[in-house]
Structure 1
Amino acid sequence: MEDDSVLVLSVLEKETTKPPWKLSFPHVLVATIVPFLFGYHLGVVNEPLESISTDLGFVGNSMAEGLVVSICLAGAFVGSLFSGRIADDVGRRRAFQLSALPMLLGASICATSKSMAGMLLGRLLVGTGLGVGPPVTSLYVTEISPAHLRGTYGSLIQIGSGLGLIGALLIGFPVKTIFGWWRICFWVSTIPSVILALSMMFCVESPYWLYKKGRNIEARAELEKLLGSVHAKAAMEELSKSERVDEIDSVTLVELLYGRHSRVVFLGSTLFALQQLSGINAVFYFSSTVFRRAGVSSNLASVFVGIANLIGSVVALLLMDKLGRKILLICSFFGMGISMALQVLAATLSASSPNIFYLHLTGMLLFVSMFAIGAGPVPALLLPEIFPNRIRAKAMAFCMSVHWVLNFLVGLMFLQLLDQVGPQWLYSLFCTCCFLAVVVVKKNVMETKGKSLQEIEIALLPQD
């Protein structure tokens, strides 16, 4: 009985002496500027696209309009290919600063563009920065967060993206009444880029990156800033259990695809692929166009989309460290499948019902909110958790490259496919991918809630 009492007291003491959130939160908050910029640039051409095409001389050309949207994603693919090497070579903090530079330059070029070529160049540069930034954000937030807060902090990434999307939609409202207002929309995005580059000078470096570089004393010092001196020693002991490799550059693409950790890399790529094939970014990029076709005010509908995304993100924030990653993913993809089924029904009945736009609106808002609960924030949080420290940066870069390729294709082809095959078939494809994702998650994803990164790494270590 006495031993049991000591055990209970030990557990209670451990629970009541968790690292305070106030130490790590400011650093996480700065990192969420990247997803804010991601959300902003995701939506910045949504409402102004018609004005941009008119001013720059390609109005009515759906391929050109799709290219303005998707060229940013092509740049992101290129940036994501180098994000892992950049994060490993110069560290997470400097990688953030390097990602801010092309976003700042590209947005300035877009704002001053006089031709479609200039707009495409600016969007390409912005995309390059976005390709580097989000993988580094996922790495950084995962590596500096206390285990009991990692899910909550990870959800802030999706909230940042949601706020950026809403900001882009709101700033785009005057575009039809004020000539050239779309240029202001791009100038606004330069402000958070500058803040990100400057603020990172005062943030901590990832202890995991420092440890991987053999800079143990600095890693211990950063852990003390993040967790407090009481917890830093235990964290260093846990960190020492990580797989140590002196040759960081020895991680090659062949090893990621066929090496001992290829299963988790394949799972991560699959999750990102299904996330994009669910159709979420078709909703974000072209919600105004789709709602106009359905007879709904594009301004009002786009704001509703942004609010639904934000509400779902807040729900994820509250539940991520309580219910866990896996259950949120399953519920999210299942709810998205049901929502897309409503869209298929609405598209089928559109010719026979004058009020069918209510069903369109309900289906789309439910889809966005369900995405934000799990399918949006979880993959970016889960993958750095399940990737070992040695391959984490490069594995994230590879998986994000898959994300950007499919994101690019959806953005480029959505409007054309909508015209050619019709909404019923297109939404049916998205619906099928959502239900397929439920099966994949249920069979292959492990729960990581409350576990340290070292515990997860050991649990997933392949048996030789």
Structure 2
Amino acid sequence: MLISESSVFSPGEEGVYSNVAMRGRHADAYSMYKRGTRDYINAYDKEQGSGTFTEWTRSLNGLCKEIGNPSWKRSFLYILVASLASFLYGYHLGVINETLESISNDLHFNGNTMAEGFVVSICLGGGFLGSTFSGLIVDRVGFRRAFQLCALPMIIGSSMSATAKNLWGMLLGRLFVGTGMGLGPTLATLYVTEVSKRWLINYISVISQALLLFFHIFANSNLIHAQVSPAYVRGTYGSFTQIATSLGLMSSLLIGFPAKGTEGWWRICFWVSAVPAALLALFMEFSPESPHWLFKKGRAADAEAAFEKLLGGPYVKGAMAELSKSERGGEAETVKLSELLFGHHHKVVFIGSTLFALQQLSGINAVFFFSSTVFKSAGVSSQSANICVGIANFLGSFAALLLMDKLGRKVLLIGSFSGMVVAMGLQAASASSLVSSSNEVYLSVGGMLLFVLAFSVGAGPVPSLLLSEMFPGRIRAKAMSVCLASHWVVNFFVGLLFLRLLEQIGPLVLNAIFATFCLLAVIFVKRNVLETKGKSLQEIEMTLLPPE
């Protein structure tokens, strides 16, 4: 069912319409095609107030049953294109892991842990800049152009990193890449949220099955069929951005192995990343704009055209009706930063910012940045380490895809951070003098793999999806950019200081600190995070933001 009966039906109404009546309603599907947003909302109110809207909704639902679901082929490629931004984020997050030692040798700063930390973390500083302005950019130019602006600095930065002759050239290239990384995750999450509203739930299930087949081919494992209820599928769909990030991480960890024996092999790793960035910019030229953004800008006709491209003609009117309902009374409002930080929305912004900060204070990106270094100190080859980390991250993301809409967001977060506490405890124990050298390797490697697996099940994919659900539509882009700013700031300092802290205080104390932050995250989630599984965006907003 495309529109919930419980939200629009009044008790006792009869709802059986003949096929002739339903076809008649379908013939009227484009009666508002050339109207502006205000005219569309006025027409919607008139229909609803006159009592005909309920009848029309019921006939539309009957018609949708008659003509079947929208073709998943219409939107599948667009979601893949948008997910390239998440792929690039994961790639650039992990590309420095295996290459850092060779880069430091070739560019003559080997042994300088502060310089190595800057090479890792400077892209996170750029990510802070990109994330800070992401909401403004999306509001001004829309998603298609914002994705292209995300790809441009990644292409430039990758080229500069690949041709760097000294430390400063590498730092400048990584800074450019970072600005694109800051834009990418926000855009991908918001874009998926915008196109996975309630009217898309039927064909999303089909897309999920297609994705599972794709993952089966990629991972060469048995296909697991997800039984996803059509009413609770938004989380499954949103998990695909984390899957794309995991694939990017795996690619960055594996791409350099064939060329590793050649001089300057690490430059190839940076050149390769320019290809998906160029494809993102190119394919976005042919992708539809977010109907939500178009409608908010007063371009109702363009929003209908975008829905027709995503869904097909018979489903346009139902999509526009739901969009009109969600946008009524707020389409012209502009949210200010002061309102996000101190006004009516401060609670959800605080929850989001704290959740992202705790995500990074867990130490996850220290693992992605420096796992090769840590494994080498334990006597494990970097190639084996990177393969194991990549597989653990991918399997955890795959599990999140299956469990997100079954167990719920809050359950996954609590379970994920709890598992990370145990994993960090194992890594801390491996550094203890009470552990034999033979057991040290098992505890260190096993603890790190468990940590990555636990993170990718919940703490990785859930926060972005959860916040995109928690924030009302009119503040979603700016609120996400504010929350992600905390992510980038904390991430920057973790990447910058990890090696120095590892030298100064040792792995036992450092891992104990990370474990403490994971434990604090469990407590914070239990006390503050709302379960959004199965709730409409309107229900979530009413729970978190009661009327002023």
**SS of structure 1 residue aligned to 2:526:** helix
Determine if contact 2:296/2:332 at 8 Å carries over to the other structure: no
Corresponding residue to 2:522 among 419, 425, 438: 438
Q: TM-score, structure 1 length as denominator?
A: 0.93
How big is each residue's C-alpha offset from its partner over 1:15-62, in whole Å with a ceiling of 9 and x where there is no partner? 976655443322111111011111111111111111111111111111
- Aligned partners of 2:163, 2:473: CA distance in 1, in Å? 42
- Shift in Å, 1:321: 2.1
Say yes or no: does 1:123 pair with 2:207.
no
Say yes or no: does 1:66 pair with 2:141.
no
- Aligned partners of 2:462, 2:536: CA distance in 1, in Å? 17
- Shift in Å, 1:146: 4.0
Deviates more, 1:52-61 or 1:354-363: 354-363
* Corresponding residue of 1:78: 129
Determine if contact 2:246/2:397 at 8 Å carries over to the other structure: yes
* Corresponding residue of 1:237: 321
Say yes or no: does 1:99 pair with 2:150.
yes
Deviates more, 1:222-231 or 1:164-173: 222-231
How big is each residue's C-alpha offset from its partner over 1:271-322, in whole Å with a ceiling of 9 and x where there is no partner? 1011101110000000000111112111101110011000001111111122
1:375-390 to 2 correspondence within 5 Å? 375-390=459-474
- Aligned partners of 2:288, 2:297: CA distance in 1, in Å? 15
% identical aligned pairs: 62
Corresponding residue to 1:137 among 188, 197, 202: 188
- Aligned CA distance change for structure 1 residues 246 and 463 (closer, same or farther; 3 Å): closer
Q: TM-score, structure 2 length as denominator?
A: 0.79
- Aligned partners of 2:378, 2:62: CA distance in 1, in Å? 58
* Corresponding residue of 2:347: 263
Tell me which amino acid in the other structure corresponds to 2:79.
Answer: V
Tell me which amino acid in the other structure corresponds to 1:85.
Answer: L
- Shift in Å, 1:240: 2.2
Deviates more, 1:38-47 or 1:217-226: 217-226
- Shift in Å, 1:351: 5.9
Determine if contact 1:144/1:206 at 8 Å carries over to the other structure: yes
Matched pairs, number: 458
* Corresponding residue of 1:285: 369
**SS of structure 1 residue aligned to 2:326:** coil
Corresponding residue to 1:276 among 333, 347, 360: 360
Deviates more, 1:295-304 or 1:234-243: 234-243
- Aligned CA distance change for structure 1 residues 172 and 246 (closer, same or farther; 3 Å): same
Deviates more, 1:180-189 or 1:321-330: 321-330
- Shift in Å, 1:445: 1.8
Deviates more, 1:308-317 or 1:422-431: 422-431
- Aligned partners of 1:265, 1:213: CA distance in 2, in Å? 24
Tell me which amino acid in the other structure corresponds to 1:443.
Answer: R
Say yes or no: does 1:193 pair with 2:249.
no
* Corresponding residue of 2:35: none
* Corresponding residue of 1:165: 249
Tell me which amino acid in the other structure corresponds to 2:311.
Answer: L
Q: What's the Cα RMSD here?
A: 2.3
Determine if contact 1:24/1:145 at 8 Å carries over to the other structure: no
**SS of structure 2 residue aligned to 1:412:** helix
Corresponding residue to 1:403 among 487, 509, 517: 487
Determine if contact 2:128/2:488 at 8 Å carries over to the other structure: yes
- Aligned partners of 2:395, 2:372: CA distance in 1, in Å? 20
Rg larger in structure: 2
Determine if contact 2:430/2:439 at 8 Å carries over to the other structure: no
- Shift in Å, 1:168: 0.8
**SS of structure 2 residue aligned to 1:272:** helix
- Aligned partners of 2:533, 2:196: CA distance in 1, in Å? 13
Deviates more, 1:219-228 or 1:26-35: 219-228
Corresponding residue to 2:532 among 448, 457, 462: 448
- Aligned partners of 2:539, 2:70: CA distance in 1, in Å? 18
- Aligned partners of 2:315, 2:539: CA distance in 1, in Å? 17
Tell me which amino acid in the other structure corresponds to 2:458.
Answer: G
Deviates more, 1:403-412 or 1:329-338: 329-338
Determine if contact 1:42/1:284 at 8 Å carries over to the other structure: yes
Tell me which amino acid in the other structure corresponds to 2:441.
Answer: F
* Structure 1 gap ranges (5+): none
1:197-216 to 2 correspondence within 5 Å? 197-216=281-300
- Aligned partners of 1:326, 1:252: CA distance in 2, in Å? 29
- Shift in Å, 1:176: 4.6
Corresponding residue to 1:222 among 287, 306, 317: 306
- Aligned CA distance change for structure 1 residues 350 and 36 (closer, same or farther; 3 Å): farther
- Shift in Å, 1:247: 4.7
- Aligned partners of 1:217, 1:447: CA distance in 2, in Å? 35
- Aligned partners of 2:258, 2:324: CA distance in 1, in Å? 55
- Aligned CA distance change for structure 1 residues 21 and 445 (closer, same or farther; 3 Å): farther
How big is each residue's C-alpha offset from its partner over 1:156-194, in whole Å with a ceiling of 9 and x where there is no partner? 111111111111111122565211111111000000000
Say yes or no: does 1:365 pair with 2:449.
yes
- Aligned CA distance change for structure 1 residues 307 and 321 (closer, same or farther; 3 Å): same
Determine if contact 1:271/1:379 at 8 Å carries over to the other structure: yes
Determine if contact 1:146/1:227 at 8 Å carries over to the other structure: no
- Shift in Å, 1:230: 4.1
Determine if contact 2:88/2:276 at 8 Å carries over to the other structure: yes
- Aligned partners of 1:4, 1:423: CA distance in 2, in Å? 67
Tell me which amino acid in the other structure corresponds to 2:190.
Answer: L
**SS of structure 2 residue aligned to 1:421:** helix
- Aligned CA distance change for structure 1 residues 15 and 361 (closer, same or farther; 3 Å): farther
Tell me which amino acid in the other structure corresponds to 1:209.
Answer: W
Tell me which amino acid in the other structure corresponds to 1:437.
Answer: A
How big is each residue's C-alpha offset from its partner over 1:230-252, in whole Å with a ceiling of 9 and x where there is no partner? 4433332222233544555x322
**SS of structure 2 residue aligned to 1:118:** helix
Say yes or no: does 1:253 pair with 2:304.
no
Corresponding residue to 2:79 among 8, 28, 50: 28
- Aligned partners of 1:232, 1:163: CA distance in 2, in Å? 34
- Aligned CA distance change for structure 1 residues 223 and 321 (closer, same or farther; 3 Å): farther
* Structure 2 gap ranges (5+): 1-11, 17-57, 202-232
- Aligned CA distance change for structure 1 residues 197 and 297 (closer, same or farther; 3 Å): same
* Corresponding residue of 2:239: 155
- Shift in Å, 1:150: 2.3
How big is each residue's C-alpha offset from its partner over 1:190-225, in whole Å with a ceiling of 9 and x where there is no partner? 000000001111111111111211212222232233
